[in-house]
Structure 1
Amino acid sequence: MFKSKLTTTPNSLLYHGRLDNIPNHKLSSVRIFVSSTFSDTVEERDALIKNVYPKLREYCFKTYNIPFYYSDMRWDIQDQSTDNHSTVDMCLQELDRCCRLSLATNCVILLSHRYGGQMPPARIKQRVFRRFASVLSDDESALIDRWFQLDENPVEPVYVLRSIDSTTREQWKENKKQLQNALRHASDLCLLHKTISESEHKEFHISVTSQEIYRALQNNDQQPQRMVAFFRELKDIDDLDSKLKLKFSDTDEETQKLLDDTKTLIRDALLPENVFAYRVNWKDETNKNVYLTKFQEDFYNVLKNQIDYHMTQTRPKDKLYEEVLEHSIQCKMLDERYCSRDDILEKVKTFVLLNTPQRPCTIYGKSGTGKSSIMAQVAIKAPKWFENPSSVSIIIRFLGTTPLSSDIRQPLISIIQQICIIYHIKMVPINDSTTIQGLKQKFEQILIQIPTTEKLVILFDSVDQLQ
């Protein structure tokens, strides 16, 4: 018996016309962002570049004919980004890009004993900045006034950290730590007095690496098979000389708690098979080399498994899936360009809810007047017009935009197939000899098998493009 409740697998949602997790364009590569602290993970990241990434690149190309890319921002930060305090923004933008564009894994985390660099925020809300000024000493207030300037252009004005140039570089080196301490002190006092929120307080204590991790977890909230984490513990860290220990550890009581909290968050969010932990005697070269070999093997295998999973399980290689995906991406793109035409949408809504039999609703107008964008809006909003949105499925075709939508025959075939999948109807046989009249009859036979408790909205855009 057919059940109207939508299943939540990506493919099922796509066939039902739900676009929430549809990319803005067709994905065609694997892109991973490597989030790690810097000085203590050099050996691992060097090994990945030398031994693992080339193998993954070769595997992706030979197996799926797709490219493999990695982004390790710890190697690529330019002086200009440091001078204008855009380092954090640049890292987060690249992370978002990998999350948005990757077909499979998009973020890999490497953590050990370091919490990572903590930078003064590049922007502070005006409201928060003023609260800080009220709790700081005169010297501390003068310091933050020296380095921050008000920007009233945003909707909510912010104080922006001044850029560094040749005339201020030495002063910045002297003041950076003092400024950071003053901001943290102010945030602690304001949190104590409940004049700022927990999240606002965190902005002045969180490391760059943790910001990346929190962002990646947020981006992959519904997709746990796109992240991997590697934790390394040095069993002999207390036996290292002071210089080497400083390289591998940077925590005090506060940052150790923040690091522990970050690791706990990762373990709670990721599947167990995507979290790896190692205990190493770093001074023992043999033990260290065994660890590095195991790390590289685990890295390659888990990424290969995730790539295989997404390429074979969540992205089936069939013409129907690809066709529906293409039109869904087109729909999402048009929605982003939509200019409000609520009057027309309301008329379409009225027509749809009246359920007028044997009569289509036609939207017509001159080329370039936004008809396609309106169709995209109908596809997105129509389920919410009904009392039970989960019982509503949307099928849309932007005719002429794909090779399989340039004549009436192919769209009709793909729509019949999509309806069969949505409602678990036995697929009707269709071959090259099936005539248009035969397709019409099969289409009608399929429609009458849709449960009466279900609603189906079929949208054709640009019927004039049919050959």
Structure 2
Amino acid sequence: MSRKAAVRDSRSLKHSQSSNLSKKLTKNNLNDAVADPSTPSEEAEVLDIYQKVFSGRYDNIPAPISQQVRVFTSSTFTDTTVERNALMEEVYPALKEYCRENHGLDFQVVDMRWGVRDEATDDHMTTKLCITEIGNCQRLSLGPNFVVFLCQKYGYRPLPSEILTSEFDTLKRMLIENQEDVSLLDTWYIEDANSVPKQYVLQPISSILFNFNNKRIPKLQERDAKTWWQVEARMQNQLRKAAKLCYDKGFFTHEQMHNYFMSVTEREVINGILNSSNPNEHCLCFVRHIDNIVVNATTAAAKFIDLTADQINSEAQKLLANLRDERVPTKLHKSCIRRYAVEWFSKDGIDATYHASYISKFCRDFSSSVTSLIDSAVVKQSKFRDPLYSEILRHLYGSHLVSSAFHGREKEIEIAKQYVLSEKQIPMIFQGENGCGKTSLLARISTQIRSWLGIGKDPVVILRFIGTTADSSSISPLLTSVCDQIAWNYDMKLKDQSPTELSKLFHHFKRMIALATSDKPLIIFFDSLDLLSTVDAAHELLWFPPKLPANVKFFASFTPGASSIERAIRRLVEDSNHYVTVEAMEKTVGHLCPALFLYPSLMLYSVHVPGSSTISPTLQTSTYRPSMFIPPQIHTYFAPDSSYALSMPISYFCPDPYLAEIFGYFEGYLLSEGNIGQIYKLLHMRNTSCFKEKKGKREKGE
């Protein structure tokens, strides 16, 4: 049986499109069902999550169910070339087909040992690149997210790219006391006094060895490369010696000392397995041992085991054994670890033909292990595949991401607070130009509702960021989903009772919002009314309630002049006091968050973008809204005056395929202020750094 057939014959699970929880409920609403002591504990736990999402609570809400399986593969690379080639050629395509046909999922593999560019090495970003991508896989993947191949090679142990100032000073003191010359460390490590806490940063190689990346003159590049590897080895020896002295004298913990001896692969395993909360659901380990490795100058032994001066590096082997044979088995169940023993072959060690039987078994095991984790994850998530739940969570989680990075707008927020606490029965309308921050402002307001109303009130908060999902783009599915959400919270018998005829649906919506009570008020947010499809006369606002029932508050926003929405809404809401103009922020106001853009070279793994691998040259803000589901760390380290922008292939700066798909519709994007990214303009930057450091000043990239 072929490997592809083996994957196809794996157990197929057809997940349900609805959790059918509503069919099981005999209570009037979710609150009653959760509180019912007769509800089984496992079902009560699921209902509790549903209740949080359907009522618009932000405390510990889950992320939307992923539609992809994204697996990071870790190894020292040279020792698993044959195995990885086999996976790439036969297993990965079959797994991709399996995920698509059986579960409607997209299967992706992240292999950072291929395609990492020279600039990442130059900036010493390789390790950070890998660790960042592991985090992306853990965040995005359904089921498996990390696979490690641990063989007999511990692998590359780079210099730390940053060292705390206090730690660096201690290391230098130890070396000086031992009559060591520290001039090399002083040359390559420069203190960054702006960081908190202060730290020393390893300088880019090409900033000192100018021809390290000079592909135009190979001889000069080769010379500087050789010089760097010699310099690196000397600094490694010094730092390791100093770290051991610090540990022996009680200045360092064992963990601090080990940081200077650790390989990239071990760091990946720590982040992917050892620090994972539930690795048995997401991680796999494949261990291969080659018997009788022939170590001499004529063999490829250096590819399979750590050598120093043609001798096995005992220090590296000890570190590897501790990781592979002790720490990983302690954290990972034996069912998630596969072991193989093979014989050394000729000069090459592992040969695809000679070891065909082993390769075949390895591929079968890999396929079955990965599909098992995928199937288990699908079963676990099937309880949360109710379409309405998914729709609500998508908006709620997007609002959570946006509001977590929000700052300022105290005046507008205070106006919203007074409106919520008042007895007014007229909608509150926010207006402003594209990019002024309306979406972020409404998201922030929605998170404050419960604290404003205080104890004794259990509000239902309903959010729809129009245009971000299919069901929020047209008026009929929009109102239907909102009516069903109201029914879940107030009267389950009214769920799925929305009329299909438009005029009746409009009246039904107005009747449903009247279900709100004094102890359970209803707060509705409709952001960007102008992005509603004009189909079904949506812009005439025949569905819009100009006068609200008691215990109901309605927030809406629109962009003036964008459509007939403005005329219609001003006709319905005549009181000018119920309009809030959201002004663009002053140029002196900045929004700074931890930056992925600080290190664009971290984002090197290729992702699929509809129609192109780079940013599309067309700006389409009127048809696709980019602002809602971009995590706050994406828009960050630009100057407060918005004078810097970045443009490069999607794979440079967008590790999340979902975000890449969003970005793929736009030419580029420029941060304007505290909201999450309206897409405006870009300046092409050829280098992989947003800024260059020169003489202590931060300058725009070339």
Deviations 1:338-368 (A, max 9, x none): 341234435545665x5x6684672534345
Counterpart-to-counterpart distance in 2, 1:92 and 1:17: 32
**Corresponding residue of 2:619:** none
Task: Tell me which amino acid in the other structure corresponds to 1:437.
Answer: H
What TM-score does the superposition give when structure 1 sets the normalisation length?
Answer: 0.78
Q: Which among 478, 481, 506 is matched to residue 436 of structure 1?
A: 506
Amino acid in the other structure paired with 1:228: C
Q: 1:335: which partner in 2?
A: 403
Cα separation, 1, equivalents of 2:490 and 2:343: 59
Partner residue, 1:260: 322
| Corresponding residue for residue 203 of structure 1 | 259
1:233·1:280 contact (CA, 8 Å) conserved in 2? yes
Matched, 1:228 2:283: yes
Matches within 5 A, 1:215-294: 215-217=271-273, 221=277, 225=281, 227-234=282-289, 237=291, 239-243=292-296, 247-250=303-306, 252=314, 256-257=318-319, 259-261=321-323, 265-267=327-329, 269-270=331-332, 273=335, 275-283=336-344, 289-294=356-361
> Within 2, Cα distance between the matches of 1:223 and 1:444?
47
Q: 1:10 to 1:183 in 2, by over 3 A?
A: farther
Aligned twin of 1:74: 113
Contact 1:149 1:162 in 2 (8 A): no
Match of 1:55 among 94, 109, 113: 94
- Corresponding residue of 1:2: 33
Contact residue 151 and residue 157 of structure 1 kept, 8 A:
yes
Paired residues of 1:229 and 1:266 also in contact (CA < 8 A): no
Is the contact between residue 351 and residue 361 of structure 1 (CA under 8 Å) also seen in structure 2?
no
Alignment of 1:298 onto 2:365: yes
The two structures, once aligned, show a CA RMSD in angstroms of 4.2
Query: 1:139 aligns to what?
Result: 180
- Kindly provide the amino acid, as one letter, of the partner of residue 438 in structure 1: H
Distance 1:389 1:103 in 2: 38
Distance 1:394 1:173, change over 3 A: same
Match of 2:432 among 343, 366, 383: 366
In structure 1, distance between residues paired with 2:332 and 2:522: 37
Structure-to-structure mapping, 1:185-200, within 5 angstroms: 185-196=241-252, 200=256
Q: Secondary structure at the match of 1:158?
A: strand
For residues 154-169 of structure 1, the aligned pairs below 5 Å read 154-155=195-196, 156-163=198-205, 164=209, 165=212, 166=221, 168-169=224-225
Would you say the 8 A contact 2:154–2:265 is kept in 1? yes
| Distance of 2:273 and 2:253 partners within structure 1 | 21
SS in 1 for 2:96: helix
Note closer, same or farther for the CA distance 1:69–1:188 as it changes in structure 2 (3 Å cut): same
Which residue does 2:466 correspond to in 1? 399
1:418 to 2:485 alignment: yes
1:47/1:334 CA distance change after superposition, 3 Å: same
TM-score by length of 2: 0.55
Confirm or deny: 8 A CA contact 1:33 1:98 kept in the other structure: yes
Within 1, Cα distance between the matches of 2:392 and 2:189?
A: 50
Residues 407, 38 of structure 1: alpha-carbon distance in 2 compared, 3 angstrom cutoff: closer
Bigger CA drift: 433-442 or 71-80? 433-442
Q: Does 1:110 align with 2:149?
A: yes
SS of aligned partner of 2:158: coil
Amino acid at match of 2:75: S
Tell me the equivalent position of 1:89. Answer: 128
Bigger mean CA deviation after superposition, 262-271 or 180-189: 262-271
Return the letter of the residue paired with 2:72. Answer: F
Greater displacement, 174-183 / 48-57: 174-183
Q: 1:32 to 1:393 in 2, by over 3 A?
A: farther
Structure 1 pair 313/229, CA: closer, same or farther in 2 (3 Å)?
Answer: closer
1:6·1:390 contact (CA, 8 Å) conserved in 2?
no
What is the CA deviation profile of residues 27-86 of structure 1, one whole-angstrom value per residue up to 9, with x for unaligned ones?
654332211122332232122112211211222344455543322222333444334423
**May I ask how many residue pairs the two structures share in their alignment?**
455
Q: What amino acid sits opposite 2:259 in the alignment?
A: E
Q: Which moved more, 1:45-54 or 1:290-299?
A: 290-299
Write the distance in 2 (CA, Å) between the matches of 1:333 and 1:141: 46
Paired residue for 1:380? 447
Structure 1 residues 149 and 109 mapped into 2: Cα distance closer, same or farther (>3 Å)?
A: same
Code of the aligned partner of 1:187: A
Deviations 1:177-217 (A, max 9, x none): 33212112222333444545665434312210121222334
Q: Check whether the contact 2:189–2:200 (CA below 8 A) recurs between aligned residues.
A: no
* Structure 2: unaligned runs, 5 residues or longer: 1-31, 36-43, 213-220, 307-312, 346-350, 533-537, 540-702
Distance 2:395 2:317 in 1: 48
Kindly provide the CA deviation profile for residues 244-264 of structure 1, in whole angstroms up to 9, marking residues without a partner as x.
766544463576356534665
Aligned partners of 1:384 and 1:260: how far apart in 2?
Answer: 50
Structure 1 residues 14-25: aligned runs within 5 Å: 14-15=53-54, 16-18=56-58, 21-22=62-63
8 Å CA contact 2:457, 2:521 repeated in 1:
no
Matched with 2:14 is none
- Any conservation in 2 of the 1:129–1:159 contact (CA below 8 Å)? no
1:424 shift after superposition? 9.3
Q: Distance in 2 between matches of 1:423 and 1:191?
A: 63
**CA 1:393–1:103: 2 relative to 1, 3 Å:** farther
Of all paired residues, the percent bearing the same amino acid is 26
**Does the 8 Å CA contact 1:2/1:423 hold for their aligned counterparts?**
no
- 1-side partners of 2:491 and 2:134: how far apart? 39
What amino acid does structure 2 have at the position aligned with 1:396? L
